[in-house]
Amino acid sequence: MPLTLETLLAPVGRDIFEQRHWEHEPVVLRGTSPDCLAGLFDLDDADRIIHSSGLRGPTYRVVKDQQDLPAEAFSMPKLGWGSDSVTNFAEGNRLMAQLRDGASILFGSMHRLWGPVAEACRLVEETWGWPVAANGYLTPPRSVGFNAHWDYQSLLVLQTAGEKTWRLYRPTMPLPLKHQVCPPGGLDDPGELFMEVSLKRGDVLYVPRGWIHQAFSQEQTSLHVALSIMPTTWMDVFQNLLNSMADDVRFRAPVSIPITHAGDLRQVDEDRFDTLLAAFTERADADDGCEAIARRFVATRLPAMRGTLNELDSHDSVRADSLLRRRTGVIYRIENHGEQCHLLFQGQTMKLPWELVNAVRFVSEAAAFSPEQLPAEMPLEEKVAMCRSLLALGFLTWA
């Protein structure tokens, strides 16, 4: 059964999660069964990555006693690779020796490297419209990788093997932004304990950004995947709107700042500030600021292309009654550009006459359809051609 956000949030339900817990306080989501996260990333998968995938830096780190170990402690500094060479190639026996000695392995950016994890990130992105990244954490028995710390991302911790105990403390920096990071090395005094919980295989823990946390493995090797959710904030919206003022020459004019008494602006500059503040208030539009962020979000999502290689030669096979659907994980946007509608997805833009906008919405939303069902006043062969193009570009797949 494929992983869904509803599966992850099932113990409390999505509505209660969003109302009571999202950005408010942690919650443990006990798995409906130990196998509810099966197929995501287990010990066999980690073993395969370590020993059979050509693992090399900087896609992984090794951490012990709160510090990153130097690469030469577990990897080959340089390894011949055909007529060239690669660096920091994982040396399996030395890497396993570090694990046996209490070090943890951090598999970084798994949303780029491991299909099932990438799909889990994408389903969260589709639901909430915020960027999601993922790391994997492999910890030997009775070990701790990092000191107590906070993150500027909210976390969904998915325990896929072993058991890990988490201690959580209330934030000293609520809802931190990207530049409001925890001090290097973490916190020696995290404050009063809010919650201590042990996660077993199939369990999920939600940690809001800013909440201080630390994790310890128990008597077995622990493996978990952390989905890092980076929500858009009002700071992002206002920063985007401020950047849009760059086309107004008044905002580009210099300002004289008294170096020794920076608070003593000249009256003329005080007046200019008030004028610019009024101009910003008059011109700034929340919809415009959010639209630009949404457009950037769609443009920067990694393509969801699994399966397209097998379809490389099949788009010509599309017929009027062929069953198709939007490819799972494709994040898209439909825009109005005068006499055209633009379909934006995976770094591509398909431009079509505006009268086809209902057909574009139809192929984007239908569970399954055939080209002959497209709600558009156009010849059947053009409907088929449109669907063939969308299949070739990876927007559609076979139903």
Question: How many domains does one find in the chain?
Answer: 3
Check whether residue 204 and residue 87 sit in a common domain.
yes
The number of helix segments (H) and strand segments (E) in the chain equals 11, 18
Q: What is the pLDDT along the chain (399 residues), one digit of tens a residue?
A: 568 888 889 899 999 999 999 999 999 999 778 898 999 999 999 999 999 999 998 999 999 988 899 999 999 988 898 999 988 999 999 999 999 999 999 999 999 999 999 999 999 999 999 999 999 999 999 998 889 999 999 999 999 999 999 999 999 999 999 999 999 889 999 999 999 999 999 999 999 999 999 999 999 999 999 999 999 999 999 999 999 999 999 999 999 888 777 567 888 889 999 999 999 999 999 999 999 999 999 999 988 888 888 888 887 899 999 999 999 999 999 999 999 999 999 999 999 999 999 999 999 999 999 999 999 999 999 999 999 999 999 999 999
Check whether residue 201 and residue 245 sit in a common domain.
no
Flag whether 310 is in a domain: no
- What residues contact residue 374 under an 8 Å CB cut-off, 6+ apart? 359, 362, 363, 383, 386, 387
Flag whether 306 is in a domain: no
Q: What is the pLDDT of residue 98?
A: 95
**CB burial of residue 264 (10 Å; 0-12, 13-18, 19+):** exposed
Could you tell me where the DSSP H helices lie in 212-266?
A: 234-243
- Nearest-angstrom CA–CA distance, 21 and 32: 19
- Nearest-angstrom CA–CA distance, 106 and 78: 21
Last residue of a domain, one of 229, 251, 269: 229
Last residue of a domain, one of 266, 297, 328: 297
Q: What is the pLDDT of residue 313?
A: 83
Flag whether 304 is in a domain: no
Check whether residue 193 and residue 246 sit in a common domain.
no
Check whether residue 168 and residue 293 sit in a common domain.
no
Model pLDDT for residues 134-172, shown as the tens digit of each residue: 999 999 999 988 899 999 999 999 999 999 999 999 999
Predicted TM-score of the model (pTM): 0.91
Q: What is the pLDDT of residue 377?
A: 92
- Nearest-angstrom CA–CA distance, 392 and 386: 10
- Nearest-angstrom CA–CA distance, 271 and 258: 16
Check whether residue 123 and residue 195 sit in a common domain.
yes
Flag whether 302 is in a domain: no
CATH number, domain at 115? 2.60.120.650
Given a contact cutoff of 8 angstroms between Cβ atoms, the answer to whether 63 and 140 are in contact is: no
Last residue of a domain, one of 265, 297, 329: 297
Check whether residue 108 and residue 251 sit in a common domain.
no
Given a contact cutoff of 8 angstroms between Cβ atoms, the answer to whether 399 and 323 are in contact is: yes
Check whether residue 128 and residue 260 sit in a common domain.
no
Check whether residue 220 and residue 244 sit in a common domain.
no
Q: What is the pLDDT of residue 322?
A: 97
Flag whether 362 is in a domain: yes
Check whether residue 277 and residue 320 sit in a common domain.
no
Flag whether 126 is in a domain: yes
CATH number, domain at 345? 3.90.930.40
Flag whether 308 is in a domain: no
Flag whether 258 is in a domain: yes
Check whether residue 243 and residue 202 sit in a common domain.
no
Check whether residue 153 and residue 25 sit in a common domain.
yes
Check whether residue 49 and residue 182 sit in a common domain.
yes
Q: What is the pLDDT of residue 131?
A: 96
Half-sphere exposure of 288 (CA within 13 A, CB side): 12
Domain that holds residue 328: 315-398
Given a contact cutoff of 8 angstroms between Cβ atoms, the answer to whether 1 and 38 are in contact is: no
Q: What is the pLDDT of residue 44?
A: 97
